[in-house]
Structures are given as structure tokens and as C-alpha cells.
Amino acid sequence: MTDAPPTEAPVPLRTGETPCLLFPELFARGGGLQRSVQERASLYARDWQRVLLLTTGFTPQWYRVPEELKERGSLHHRVTIRNFFAHSEWMKQLGVPPESAYAVPGEPDLDVRPQKLRGREPFRLADTRPGERYPFRYRYFDTAGQLFLTTYSGPRSKHEQNGVDASGAAVDWAGVLATWVDQEIAGLPTPVLFSLQRGLNDPVLLASTNAARKIASLHNCHYNDPDDRRSGIRPSFRPLFDHADRVDRIVCQTAQQLDELREDVPWAPLHSIRYPGRDPHQEPVEKDTSLVVLIAQLVDRKRVDHAIRAFAEVLTTLPEARLEIYGEGPRLDRLQALVDELGVGGSVRLMGYSLAVGEAQARAACVLLTSTFEGSPRVVTESMSRGTPAVSYAIRYGPRDLIRDGVDGLLVERQEPAALAAAIVSLLSDPDRVRAMGREAGTIVERHPVSAFERAWADVLTAPARRRTVATRARELGKRVRGSRTVRRLRRLTRALR
């Protein structure tokens, strides 16, 4: 009888740091940013004993989505979810909105709705203007039924950004959230706080006093006009960049954005971690060299209409070609109307949301990316990992860092349907080229390995806090002055005069 082979002892979970991720709200059917949040939390939960995901936005059943994500395997079972509206002491001072508050003098057309958590009384009123998707205002009342606080959401968002009290004095809503965050992380071993969305969570990150280190992750282009660097920094990025001396690391996803940030905000502690190629661990599927796939939220900035218009031109040369569009969003009806208007319904299909898009990516001759801007498009990386080339507009950021033009995909410099159609036709007209590019695309798994990605994020978590000496602050101030828009304009004027 032989001895059984010794089993390896389980590696103990790390306890030196506590990753704490700030994010407004989890969705079961979200896009790339939602998946990045779940992935980051799960990455840390594999090796660290405690991981907190602190959600700052209101959703009536805040607990249900995390349960679904954990059952699906998208979120690690050890990630602890805490929600401001469900768990903060601040909520205990609120009362039920009185009946008289449902009618607002001078605003007869408002849609006023009470909001509450499961099993509780309503705690505020949400005011929505006619024809708008989200509330623009929320009203809170004290236990005596008197107006206590009024908050206002940002543009095209339901999440609150600022407020005033009953006397009209400004209330720092980010400070209210930061107080709750600091209560949640108090006493934890080395709480490292991550902000994962601009505008909403960066002010909370900056206001926190209990975080041992502060990290911001960038997931989008930081310019007002992504095609024009002279257009200035987007407002949602300014709080972070203006106070970059108060964070330990700002992490973007591409080398191009890192290079441009070093010129735009040279005082900031910048770093880049590229999203990796991941082995999909799926059986090989036969390529359909007539199938094109696009995966995106159906919102304006994804420019899905460009793909539909381009495909109307593709069909004049390749009538057997087909386009499948996966995703959902507020532009669904408008896009379907465009399909009907162009008469391409037999070849272009809006497939809706699907958890099985991986198979469609693997089968397709190519995937399309038509966005106005990105941080680094996961859909390109994931499709390439499945052996499918991408045909993409050459936007900021991502495509130039991922696609080797003419080798494993095509970059379209002119961001218009005619140029996109020409690129699609050039690829679909040559099935052998489709397969050859697909083989090259699959090498992204080796070129950008997931092990390097995971190691880089572990290093960000465990890195020492940024040293902030008087000299460091002086250098940062000097850099900020030298990098300011005014000084850059003076330099350009001086060069022009010379």
C-alpha cells in the first residue's frame, strides 16, 4: 500500500490591508465599468481576508444584485457589500415625508414619488420633470415632518452631487458620504480606499480621513472633446486632478492616456495598468466569416447608429453579411427605427442583453467598436482573446494600445460610417484573412498576460503611502503652475512671437 501524496496546505489569506472600493451602485446587467468593479473586488477577495464594496447610491433592493452576482460567479462570495442608505447612522435622523410635501407650489407638473428601502417607511421624495428619465431633486424631512435637506443629481444621472439645508445653506453631500465611509472603515487594518467613478466618488475619496491610502482608477477619456486635446479637462475629472496631492495613486489603463496625463497633470501620482487578455477556456468554434458583432450599451456615446449606417453600405457589396448588436439602453427604439428606415432588418438584428455574448464573439469574423471614447474597451480585449479581430475607430483610449493595425485588427482613422463600411468590406471579402487575423488576435493572451495584471493591482494595494513632505508639496505646486492652461498658452504665444 502506497502513501497518499501530501496535499498542499492552503495559503492563508492576507490581513495586512483592507481593500475598500467606492462605487455608486451595482447592476446585474451592467457594462464594462460594472464588470471592472466586480472583477477588482473579486481579485482582492481571493487573497485578502476582508474586502469591502461601499455603495453610495440608493437602490430599493441594494442586497439583491450582489446576491445574484455571487450566485453567477461574477462577484467573490467573500466581498462584503455595505450601502449608505441601508447602513448609515445619518439615516436615523430622517422621518416620513408628509402628505403635504407631494404637491410643490409653482411646479404642478412634477412627478413626485416616495422612495424607501425594503420593509421600511419612505424616507424621501424624488422629483422628476416631465419627459426626463431621472429625478433632478430629492427632498428629505425630519421626524417632525419639516424639510431637512434638498439634494440635486448630476446631469443624466440619478445620483446626488450637492445639496442645501432648510435655510438654503449649502450642504457638502460628499462630506456626508465620507463620514459614513470613515465610520465603516474605522478600526480596519490599513484600509485602502479606491474610487472607481469620476464626479460621484472622487469627492468622497478626497474627503475621507480614515483611509490609510487613496487610489483612483480612470475608466474614460479625460478631455471635453476626445478628438481635441486643447478642449480642456472634463469637469468630472477636475476634483481629482486639482487635488491629486491628496491621493496616493491615479491609475489609467493605456500607455497613451498615461503619456498625455503626464503632460496635462504632471503633479499627479500617475500609473498605468493595461487590461489583460484572458484565456476564455471555451471549446473552439467555427468562424462565420459573414457575421459581424457589436457589443455595447445603447447610448449616444457608443455611436451604434454608425455601425447600422455602415452596414447598409456593406450590404451593397456583401449582401450575405450579417450584424448582431448585443446590449440594451435608452436608444433601443431609436436604433430599431433606424434599422427599419434603412431597410436592413433582414441582416441587422438588435439582440438585447445576453450573458452568452462570448460565443457570438468567438463565432464572428470581427467585432466593431464605434464609441466616441473609452478608457480601454474590454470588448476588444475579450474578442481578441477569443481569436476574433476588431474593427475599431481609432479613438482615445485603447484601440491603438491593443490592435496591431492590419495584423490582428483594423483601425479606422475617419470616424464615419463610410470609412467603417470600407474596413468591414475589406476584411469580410477575404475569409482567409479573417482567420489569419483571428489567430494573431488570440496571441493577446500571451502578450498581455492576466498574471501581470493581477500582480500590478496587488502591488498598488500594498505599496507604501505617498510621502508628502513640504518640499514635495512645493514641487507639486510648481508643476501644477507650469502645467496650467494659462502657462501653456503663454508658452505657445512666446514661441509664436519668436
Q: How does pLDDT run across 425-472, given as a tens digit for each residue?
A: 999 999 999 999 999 999 999 999 999 999 999 999 999 999 865 545
Q: What is the mean pLDDT of residues 470-490?
A: 60
pLDDT for 262 equals 97
pLDDT for 11 equals 78
Strand 111-115 with 18-23, pairing: unpaired
Mean pLDDT over all residues of the chain? 93
CA distance 297 to 330: 9
- Torsions phi, psi for 400 (to 5 deg): -65, -30
Percentage of the chain beyond pLDDT 70 is 92
In order of 88, 230, 471, 472, 482, the CA distances from 477 in angstroms are 37, 22, 10, 9, 9
pLDDT interval class at 283 (50, 70, 90)? confident
pLDDT for 245 equals 93
Reported residue count of the chain is 498
Strand 160-165 with 288-295, pairing: unpaired
Contacts 24+ apart (CB under 8 A), 285-289: 285/359, 285/362, 285/363, 286/363, 287/363, 287/364, 287/365, 287/431, 287/434, 287/435, 287/438, 288/363, 288/364, 288/365, 289/365, 289/428, 289/431, 289/434, 289/435
pLDDT for 1 equals 45
CA distance 205 to 247: 8
For 29-159, list the strands marked E by DSSP.
51-55, 79-83, 111-115, 124-128, 137-141, 147-153
In order of 7, 21, 230, 367, 460, the CA distances from 237 in angstroms are 50, 18, 15, 30, 21
CB 406 within 8 A of CB 240: no
User: What amino acid occupies position 143?
Assistant: T
Coil, strand, or helix at residue 324? Answer: strand
Greatest distance between any 2 Cα atoms in the chain: 91
Q: pLDDT: is 482 or 392 the higher one?
A: 392
pLDDT tens digit sequence for 316-357: 999 999 999 999 999 999 999 999 999 999 999 999 999 889
Coil, strand, or helix at residue 418? Answer: helix
pLDDT for 155 equals 86
CA distance 222 to 156: 18
| Nearest partner of 279 among 368, 130, 207, 386, judged by Cα | 386
**pTM for this model (two decimals):** 0.90
User: Residue 476: pLDDT above 60?
Assistant: no
Side-chain-side CA neighbours of residue 179 (13 Å): 9
pLDDT tens digit sequence for 245-276: 999 999 999 999 999 999 999 999 999 999 99
CB 44 within 8 A of CB 51: yes
Output the DSSP codes for 382-395. HHHHTT--EEEE--
pLDDT for 284 equals 83
Secondary structure of 192-211 as H, E, C letters: EEEECCCCCCHHHHHHCCCC
Please identify which residue in the block is written with the cell numbers 501530501. Answer: 6
CA distance 216 to 209: 16
Q: pLDDT: is 357 or 495 the higher one?
A: 357
Q: What is the mean pLDDT of residues 21-45?
A: 94
Cell matching residue 79: 466581498
pLDDT tens digit sequence for 154-206: 888 999 999 999 999 999 999 999 999 999 999 999 999 999 999 889 999 99
CB 288 within 8 A of CB 318: no
CA distance 133 to 94: 26
CA distance 13 to 19: 13
In the chain, the domains with their CATH numbers are 18-86+176-272 (3.40.50.2000), 89-173 (no CATH), 288-448 (3.40.50.2000)
Q: What is the mean pLDDT of residues 296-319?
A: 97
DSSP symbol at 94: B
Percentage of the chain beyond pLDDT 90 is 86
CB 445 within 8 A of CB 228: no
pLDDT for 248 equals 97
Q: Of all helices (H) and strands (E), which one includes residue 66?
A: helix 64-72
CA distance 359 to 324: 12
CA distance 263 to 437: 35
pLDDT for 364 equals 98
User: Residue 104: pLDDT above 50?
Assistant: yes
Cell matching residue 125: 421624495
Q: What is the mean pLDDT of residues 98-122?
A: 95
pLDDT for 382 equals 96
In sequence order, the β-bridge partners of residue 164 are: 150, 170
pLDDT interval class at 387 (50, 70, 90)? very high
Side-chain-side CA neighbours of residue 226 (13 Å): 17
